[in-house]
Amino acid sequence: MKYLLLSLGLGCASQSAWAQQPGQPVHGPGHVVSVGLPTVAGALGVQVEQRLGHHFSLGVWGARFFSADFPGYQGGLLGRYYFRPTAPLGLYLQAQVGAFSHDAQRVSVYPGGSPIPSSSKLNGKGGGLTLGYQLALTKHLVANAALGFRVYTDTWQHQLSDSYYVGDFNAVGQPGSWLDGQLSVGYAF
């Protein structure tokens, strides 16, 4: 009986001491994989974001564009600064750099001749800034919305003075739009 009471007393004492230990700090998700609309143009994209601390994260993204005038691909790197120490959740400022490759129709105009359309590739690079908010919907499900601007190089317009491209690559709704937006849903690990 003495041993039973001693064991029970030691067990209760160890439980109360264990309960008074400070808890581990609560950490947000380590990384987020998102799928959604990466820009204001017709596209579908994937993004992977990795938290680097309480305020910072880095990520990569890629997108397939379905524009009638400029179908193609874009991808890049992004860095985010979260204004509160809750990365990767909350209000953030994002800087990004990227590259693109799109198909296009170039029309060549020769003196005394009729316009001749031909297929062409548009390749380039650029970057931009975006302000956004990433919200936790459940423990693992997140939603992201962002709006900003970006600039892509357009050196192809200056290479051939006697030709032009069908459509405006930099117009809103096209892959090279200066207005940048994002709507996506992701899974946080």
* Domain of residue 91, residue span: 28-188
Q: Which position has the token pair 């946080």?
A: 188
Each residue's pLDDT, cut to its tens digit, for the chain (189 residues) gives: 555 444 545 455 444 444 444 433 345 678 999 999 998 899 999 999 999 999 999 999 999 999 889 999 999 999 999 999 999 999 999 999 999 999 999 888 877 778 888 898 889 999 999 999 999 999 999 999 999 999 988 655 445 457 788 888 889 989 999 999 999 999 999
For residue 22, being part of any structural domain is answered with no
Query: Are 158 and 108 within 8 A, CB to CB?
Result: no
Question: What is the model's pLDDT at position 52?
Answer: 95
Q: Report the C-alpha gap between 124 and 179 in whole angstroms.
A: 17
pLDDT at 165: 84
Domains identified in the chain, total number: 1
Please report the pLDDT score of residue 107 as a whole number: 87
89 lies in some domain: yes
Give the model's pLDDT for residue 29.
78
> Hey, what are 26's tokens?
């609560």
Residue at 108 is within a domain: yes
13, part of any domain: no
pLDDT at res. 115: 86
Q: Can you give the CATH number for the domain in which 152 is found?
A: 2.40.160.20
Q: What is residue 170's predicted lDDT score, i.e. its pLDDT?
A: 87
Q: What is the pLDDT of residue 15?
A: 47
Residue 31 in tokens:
């990384």
Sign of CA dihedral 29, 88, 125, 64: positive
Output the pLDDT for position 59.
98
For residue 116, is it within any domain?
yes
**8 inside domain:** no
The rounded distance, in Å, linking the Cα atoms of 50 and 42 is: 26
Residue 21 within a domain = no
Residue 161 falls inside a structural domain: yes
